[in-house]
Amino acid sequence: MLKSKKNLKPSELAALQEAENAAALEALRKRREKEHAKMEKSKGTNKRVGKSWKNDIGIFTVLTLLGLFMIFPIYLAIVNSIKPVQEIFIMPPKLYAMEPTLENFSDLFKVANNSWVPFSRNVFNSVFVTVVATVFHILFACTAAFVLSKCKFPGYKFLNEMIVVAMLFTSTVLYIMQYMVMAKLGMINTYWALILPIIATPMDLYLMRQSMSQLPDAMIEAAKIDGAGLIRICWGIVMPNSKPALMTIIIFQFQAAWNATGGLFIYNEALKTMPTVVQQIAAAGLARQGAIAASAVVLMLPPLVIFILAQRNVMETMAHSGIKD
């Protein structure tokens, strides 16, 4: 075999080696799959200390009682949104709707469609701002968080400190100063005024930095030795191992962007987002409890969907968890 190998041309030798490599890889893959299947099978039987049915039922009861308190006002909002007008002022107030109706919702959209700007425009604004702000924020903040948590370069301590201090700073004049900066940059009444400040929020970066700092340095060293660049390490290795934090900041960011109203920075009707318009209508246009409740329910739905999708994703990824030290 060896002799024949020696007699081969370089190109044939290369082909042979490739075939051998492929076979080895295939074998490795099969073994991995087997191990994985074994792991999957044993997952359910994995016993933890002190786990018992009695304990679990106790925890479940406590959480359910507290959960009822948390969910009750939201339940009331939903019930109020499907109550017809005549039912809202019944004495004593009912905890359910006797004749549920979607009147409040249809009224809301009817008024919305009759305003100066078509309502679809406001919906588009909201979707556009939310998608752009979330995507770019995640991209920028995660890259920055990786550098701040895993790279040592002059100034990294100062920058880390600055993020926290900025989070603690609240001032009544901050808003005015932001307005002045934006006016200087000519951003008032543009999409920039809605999107850029949301991208620049430090909270998610801080959370990401915190959870990335838990990943072992050895993992990054190993990747560096294997020749991966910083960007590759960040998005190929560190990010997949920070899934829970990533999903959490997606929830935060989506919510922040979705609820963004732009405040003083936006006064052009055509640029107003859905929350601004819906709240305006609920407060002034219809001015009824039912309409206000309906607007709250409508605005709550998209973040709710994102929340459920994100949480499900965390559950799936954490089933076969990554490397930690």
Tell which one of 154, 158, 225, 284 touches another protein (CB under 8 A): 154
Write the CA distances from 127 to 111, 121, 274, integer angstroms.
Answer: 20, 10, 9
Tell which one of 6, 9, 54, 324 touches another protein (CB under 8 A): 324
Write the CA distances from 112 to 86, 107, 124, integer angstroms.
Answer: 23, 8, 14
Give every CB contact of residue 79 below 8 A, 6+ residues apart in sequence. 95, 96, 97
Which of the residues 233 through 272 are near another protein (CB under 8 A)?
Answer: 234, 242, 244-245, 247-248, 251-252, 255, 259
**212 touches 193 (CB < 8 A):** no
- Cα dihedral sign, 231-233-238-241: positive
Asked whether position 207 contacts another protein by CB under 8 A, the answer is yes
**211 touches 173 (CB < 8 A):** no
1-9, 27-35, 109-117, 206-214 -> range binding another protein (CB under 8 A): 206-214
Q: Total residues at the site for another protein (CB under 8 A)?
A: 104
Q: Six-digit token pair at 206?
A: 């801080």
Asked whether position 174 contacts another protein by CB under 8 A, the answer is yes
Which of the residues 19 through 78 are near another protein (CB under 8 A)?
Answer: 46, 48-51, 55-56, 59-60, 62-63, 66-67, 69-71, 73-74, 76-77
DSSP-derived letter for residue 273 is -
Tell which one of 13, 23, 102, 318 touches another protein (CB under 8 A): 318
Closer Cβ to another protein, 41 or 51, answer by number: 51
Q: How far is the CB of 156 from another protein (least distance, A)?
A: 8
Q: How far is the CB of 76 from another protein (least distance, A)?
A: 5
